[in-house]
Amino acid sequence: MVFSTPVFLYLFLPLTLLIYYISPKKAKNLIILLSGLLFYSWGEPIYVIVMIISTMIDYCAGLVMNKFEDNKTMRRVCLIVSVVMNLGLLGIFKYNGFIAENINAIAGQTLIDINNMYFFGIEYLPMNTLPIGISFFTFQSMSYTIDLYLGNVKVQKNPISFAAFVTLFPQIVAGPIVRYDDVARELDDRSITLDLIYDGIITFIIGLSKKVLIANSIGAVWTSIKAMEYSTMPALTAWIGILAFTFQIYFDFSGYSDMAVGLGKMMGFHFPKNFDYPYMSKSISEFWRRWHMTLGAWFRSYVYIPMGGNRKGLPRTIINLAVVWFLTGVWHGASWNFILWGSLYGVVIILEKLFLGKLLEKAPAVICHIYTMLLVILGWVLFDTADLPGAGGYIAAMFGAGGSFADSQAVYLLTCNAVMFVICIIGCTDIPKRIVEFIRKKSEVTLGYIAIPVCAAMFLLCTAYLVDSTYNPFLYFNF
Amino acid sequence: MEKHQKIYKLTLIILLVAITLVLPVITIIRSLNMPEKPFSETENRYLQTFPEISFDTITDKSFMTDFEKYFSDRFVLREEWINIKNNSDRLLGQKEIKGVFTEQGRMMEAWKGYDSNLVNRSLAAMQSFADKYSDKKMYFMLAPTSQEIYKDTLPKNCGAASQKDFIKLCYDSVPGMKGIDIYSSLNIAKDRYIYYRTDHHWTSLGAYLAYHAAGVDMGYTPLSIDKFNIEHASDSFRGTLYSDTLDNSITPDTIDFYIPSGGETAIRMEIQNGENTNVYDSLYFRDFLTKKDKYSAFLGFNVPKIDIISQATKGNDNGSLIIFKDSYAHSLIPFLVNNYSKITVLDMRYINVPLEQLGVNMDEYDSVLFMYNVITFSEDTNIPKLNFLAK
């Protein structure tokens, strides 16, 4: 299930919260587990089994690790079982097709036929299915066994509490990547206060509006431009398209994270922040400290630092960074586009570490912003075009290879979406936040009263957009 | 301060609880009281019924998908929500709502281009059909839609493609058929009521102008307009484009029947709707005038085959005609029955067997007419079927 559907907003959420609030404290984790399973199976009725198995193995690995507290080998075996199992699941479900394609390409023949993985009529390797959120829940659940091995967290003996951590529905499908350590204390003891619920509602509505009102609308512009012919595309059209995607992915992803954080608060949890105005960054290193922060933190804690981080000299630091950024690319998806996308970020970050960073410090702020956004925007082309030639063609169009600067269609696209672009530009800076803070300083009570109609109106407007998305007049006399 | 804080926080929470409880509860109560298979007049379709719960429907996710449709279809105040969304889009600067332009009191279906492969296949199929029946008089009539006639009212740079050029291209590609120019007659009459404001069809007057213009090419003498009494059948018609936008600010349309002054032309109409065959003595289905889908008052729904035998005006009988068509033809046929004593109307979208099996013997006809509007013609994937239908 996703948050932005009438069924979630008007059936699942109110019912779940109602039951959650009235049930006794001891039963609340069970409610989280059951609602999470329902939430996940709504979208993945079969592969929910994958999640259950992964949870059970990690839970048992934790117990065994705890039992053999002094036996280092045994602890290591448990860790390896957990990591291999989680990465194995990712490998099977996410990367198999990609790996097969590349093996075939290298061999020059079809060694592995990805469309024919049947054995006596049963598809033994699900080549074309990617269970929702598998990249998120495997990483979340792995954080428990790794931290337990490193001695950062205590064992969770209660299977329901552990399962509740994995199946906690707000963060199950699109993050933030909540580490066990982040919520360990709250899993066993949390208080749900009026203030927390209030904050949660507001954060949720902000996230919902970002996703439904902004990301979906601006995303439609990108969808239409992406489908056009790149070789004759005017430069302006190409820029409108990729800027639309730049905004779409930010408002979609950060909106989803806001919704998760808000829902978490309503249920008594404090999830880590995932976005901190990334498009205001002045360097790529800073951008990645502000974009999808929980993923960066995950790789830092479990890959970069264990490999020695920056404590083993410059050459080693560079290698460590390269590994992390290669993995970041791979994590985002199984294609060369993503690998190249992640690796290029790695290169830029290494360069910034070596000398570029110092240059940027001296440069005027405008230059730093332009430098950062230009790279980020070019990155998004790699990220969201179908393949490398497609990405190349699109970037060429952005720089005039289409043969013209603008045509009447580009002007039309711009005029129809001008208001939306202005909203996007303002919305991804901290200006709205500063306005809110300004009013709060004058009078917190006034702000509180303004928030009531504004939040209600946004929520209802989102409802209108969601109901409309299923509006489908069937005009049979208009075939 | 503390007290105020508690008040506004509680107010917001209670307000949202109220919204998220009241709306679904009303939705559920209302759907319990609905008929098992409710029909939406505005959307012109049956609403999703409650999906079956079984192992299969759950594992293939069809239960979930259908349930989400079921819930949204019945969501309380559905049309009002959609109106809010459309108005909000308009406010944000969108000029096109669900593929419809609304300019100067008129909704127009947007047409920005076509798939030339598809169109070429249709045209080639028509040409080989013409070659095969070269003994018959072949006519090809493409009607522009309102977007073309009122293109100067459209937003600047909106990308509307030229239907005039498209019509010429199509006529040139089928030399075996005589292309009938009706664009000029319609364009000259653009100040008259020739297209509905809320529907994608032309009005009876628009169809009359086409009928009048085609007389020269097709070799009949059209009845002059003063030979008709105009029956205002309805003045509350809200058509397909209204269903898309739900824009209430546009005046509802008037449907006119053009009845020859001597009374309705005596006809015998046999409709083969794919399941059974029914016989009628009028071209008009006045029952539809009290429903949403009022355009179907002209010859009813689109069906595979209609046979019309008429008492064509004495001395003005042009023989027998077969028409391959879309729903634009439904407004035109009431005029043609005055000049053709036998008309067979075929809708290829609903025909999947050779015409012979449908009881059509091509030898019985003198003339063939292909009559479509530009948009349907450019999008219809069924025309290439001709090769198979008339083998």
User: What pLDDT shows up at residue A125?
Assistant: 54
Q: What confidence tens digit (pLDDT) does each residue in A96-118 have?
A: 777 777 777 777 776 666 665 55
Q: What is the pLDDT of residue A473?
A: 53
Q: What's the pLDDT score for residue B15?
A: 93
Determine whether the interchain pair A461/B84 forms a contact, defined as Cβ–Cβ distance below 8 Å: yes
Q: A225 CB contacts (<8 Å, ≥6 apart)? A: A233, A237, A238, A240, A241, A244, A413
Average pLDDT over residues A361-371: 90
Query: For the packed helices A216-226 and A235-266, what is the interaxial angle rounded to 10 degrees?
Result: 140
Check whether A252 has a pLDDT greater than 70.
yes
Mean pLDDT of A290-302: 91
Of the candidates B94, B295, B301, the beta carbon closest to that of A416 is on B94
pLDDT at A379 over 80: yes
- Is B59 within 8 Å of A46 when comparing Cβ atoms? yes
- Quick one: closest CA in B to A197, which residue? B13
DSSP helix/strand/coil, A110:
coil
Which tops the pLDDT comparison, B390 or A420? A420
Answer for the pair B97, B90: CB distance below 8 angstroms, yes or no: yes
CB B97 within 8 A of CB A468: no
Å between B305 CA and nearest CA of chain A: 15
Among A219, A297, A211, CA closest to A258: A211
Q: Give the number of other Cβ atoms within 10 Å of residue A473's Cβ.
A: 19
Q: Which of A6, A198, A449 sits opposite B72 (nearest CB)?
A: A6
As given in the structure block, the two tokens for residue A472 are 């489908």
Q: Do A10 and B86 touch (CB under 8 A)?
A: no
What is the rounded CA–CA span in Å between residue B262 and residue B239?
Answer: 31
**Average confidence (pLDDT) over A234-261:** 93
Mean of the pLDDT values across residues A353-377? Answer: 89
3 state SS of B269:
strand
Q: Residue ranges of the domains in chain A?
A: 6-190, 197-425
Contacts of A5 in chain B (CB under 8 A): 68
Tens digits of residue pLDDT in A57-99: 999 988 888 888 788 888 888 889 899 998 888 887 777 777 7
pLDDT at B189: 94
Q: Is A445 on the interface with B (CB under 8 A)?
A: yes
The CA distance from B324 to A199, in Å, is 64
Cα distances from A250 to residues A71, A272, A279, A350, B361, in angstroms, run 46, 17, 9, 24, 63
Chain A residues closer than 8 Å to B96 by CB: 416
Which are the catalytic amino acids of A?
A: 332
| Percent of chain A at pLDDT exceeding 70 | 94
Across the interface, whether the CB atoms of B157 and A420 are under 8 A apart is answered no
Cβ pair A412:B158 closer than 8 A: yes
Q: Kindly indicate the confidence band of residue A404, based on its pLDDT and cuts at 50, 70 and 90.
A: confident
Q: Contact A273/A261 with Cβ under 8 angstroms? A: yes
Q: Is the confidence at residue A33, as pLDDT, over 90?
A: yes
Annotate B324-364 with DSSP letters as a single string: EE-TTHHHHHHHHTTT-SEEEEE-GGG--S-GGGGT--GGG
Q: What is the pLDDT of residue A477?
A: 40
**Given this model, what pLDDT does residue A476 score?**
45
The pLDDT tens digits of the residues spanning A309-342 come to: 788 888 888 888 888 899 988 888 778 888 898 8
**Residues of A in Cβ contact (< 8 Å) with B157:** 408-409, 411-412, 415
For the residues A426-431, what does the mean pLDDT come to?
A: 94
The pLDDT, as a whole number, for residue B389 is 85
Residues 311-330 of B with CB under 8 A from A: 326-327
CB-based contact B84 A197, cutoff 8 Å: no
Decide if A93 contacts A134 (C-beta within 8 A): yes
pLDDT band at A478 (very low <50, low <70, confident <90, very high): very low
Six token digits for residue A95: 């990367």
In angstroms, the CA A265 to CA A256 distance is 14
List the pLDDT tens digit at each of the 391 positions of chain B. 678 888 888 999 999 999 999 999 998 888 888 777 777 777 777 778 888 888 888 888 888 888 888 888 888 888 889 889 998 988 888 888 888 999 999 999 999 889 999 999 999 999 999 999 999 999 999 999 999 999 999 988 888 899 999 999 999 999 999 999 999 999 999 999 999 999 999 999 999 999 999 999 999 999 999 999 999 999 999 998 998 888 888 999 999 999 998 888 788 898 888 788 899 999 999 999 998 889 999 998 888 899 999 886 666 788 899 999 999 999 999 999 999 999 999 999 888 888 888 888 999 999 999 999 999 999 999 999 998 888 7
Give me the half-sphere count of Cα atoms (radius 13 Å) on the Cβ side of residue B116. 3
Which of A:27-56 have CB within 8 Å of B? 42-43, 45-46
Q: Chain centroid to CA B246: how far? A: 17
Contacts of B244 in chain A (CB under 8 A): 473
pLDDT > 90 fraction of chain A, expressed in percent and rounded: 39
* Burial label, A477 (beta-carbon count in 10 A; 0-12, 13-18, 19+): buried
The span from the CA of A92 to the CA of A100, in Å, is 11
pLDDT of residue B1: 62
- Contacts for B21 with CB less than 8 Å, ≥ 6 apart: A14
Query: Which residues in A359-383 are b (16+ Cβ under 10 Å) and which e?
Result: ebeeeeeeebeebbbebbbbbbbbb
Predicted confidence at residue A114, as pLDDT, reads 61
